[in-house]
Amino acid sequence: MLKRESDIGEVADGDAFAWSSGPRTDAALRDVVTRDEVQLEREAEERRERRARALEALAPTTGEVHPVQPKSAAMILFENVTKVYPGDVTGIRDLNLQIDKGEWVFLVGPSGSGKSTFVKLLLREIEATRGNVIVGGRNLAKIRRSKIPQLRRNIGCVFQDFKLLPNRTVTENVAYALEVQGQRREVIERKVPEIIALVGLADKVDKYPHELSGGQQQRVSIARAFVNHPPLLICDEPTGNLDPETSIGIMQLLYRIQRTGTTVVMATHDREMVDKMRRRVIALEDGRLVRDDRRGGYAEVTA
């Protein structure tokens, strides 16, 4: 049985979804919808402004802009590097580049520009066809295959899709990074709670990945990457699967890590993030370095 208006009670002004027994004009309905749309747009604009302010707060001051350093200060050094894949497909073309210890660098460019090749070369997943790739003072071409795992222990990686172990808790996921290195149990039990607290998940230690939000899962991923305090952190679209507001928290966390002296190299398509933070920008197109700005933006990239 339908309830009478007197049974329902007073309809709140502006409630577009409340029913009454009396007629409601089309004009009144349009007015309600318009007001709702205006309110939603106002809230969206406020969120955009908060995000912009938060990103701008992560930009370096004039005194913090990283000056050009001698090669001895390099964390990453590419010397005349070219990578040609089978089928004569070129991933990187004659790249000369230096990234110093403690720098924050955005790596930008359209799909197929060479960003993935750049990251794989750093991890020694592939070898350069020509030239030298030097990471932490070590020429990767001269590292024996048996020593590659040791190299990677000094490089933390954060990915867009988190890559967490679904059947392990937050604590177990982070601890795994130390277990595969053969760390002693007492070291693991000391380091893991510290890093989980750093990323703001001290109350989630026993949760599984499916019980966490996307932002929380990425925080676990960052904790796992940084638990060994590597001097280099590579972030491949770390906010790509996150909403704009959640991504701010991730960027603030990465900023705190970089401030400890860790070099951060971040591949991203987030135009606003790059433009607002005004960090060093390295742009690749067709495997070539087309731009290297100390306080750059995304504007010239054709995504």
CATH of residue 101's domain is: 3.40.50.300
Q: To which residue do tokens 């060093």 refer? A: 280
Rounded to 5 degrees, what angle do the CA atoms 264, 265, 270 make?
Answer: 110
Q: Which residue range forms the structural domain that includes residue 173?
A: 55-293
Q: Give dist(CA 110, CA 283) in Å, integer.
A: 9
Is residue 267 included in any domain, yes or no? yes
Q: What is the pLDDT of residue 27?
A: 66
How much is the pLDDT for 67? 61
Q: Which two tokens stand for residue 135?
A: 């990471």
CA atoms within 13 A on the CB side of 252: 17
Residue 236 counted as domain residue: yes
Token reading at 50: 């908060």
Number of independent structural domains in the chain: 1
Residue 50 in domain? no
Report if residue 245 sits inside a domain.
yes
234 and 254 Cβ atoms separated by less than 8 Å: no
Tens digits of residue pLDDT in 3-29: 444 443 444 444 444 444 455 566 666
Per-residue pLDDT for 253 more than 90?
yes
Pick from 124, 79, 78, 69: nearest CA to 101: 69
| pLDDT over 50 (residue 48) | yes
Residue at 29 is within a domain: no
Q: Let me know: does 107 contact 266? Beta carbons within 8 Å.
A: yes
- Does residue 25 belong to any structural domain of this protein? no
Residue % of the chain over a pLDDT of 90:
65
Q: How far apart are CA 195 and CA 162, in angstroms?
A: 17
Give the tens place of pLDDT for each residue, 58-87: 887 655 556 666 777 899 999 999 999 999
Reported pTM: 0.79
Q: For residue 266, tell me if it sits in a domain.
A: yes
Q: Rounded CA gap, 245 and 55, in Å? A: 11
In a domain, 203, yes or no: yes
**pLDDT value for 3:** 44
Render pLDDT for 164-223 as a digit per residue (tens, 0 to 9).
Answer: 999 999 999 999 999 998 999 999 999 999 999 999 999 999 999 999 999 999 999 999
pLDDT at residue 227 tops 50 = yes
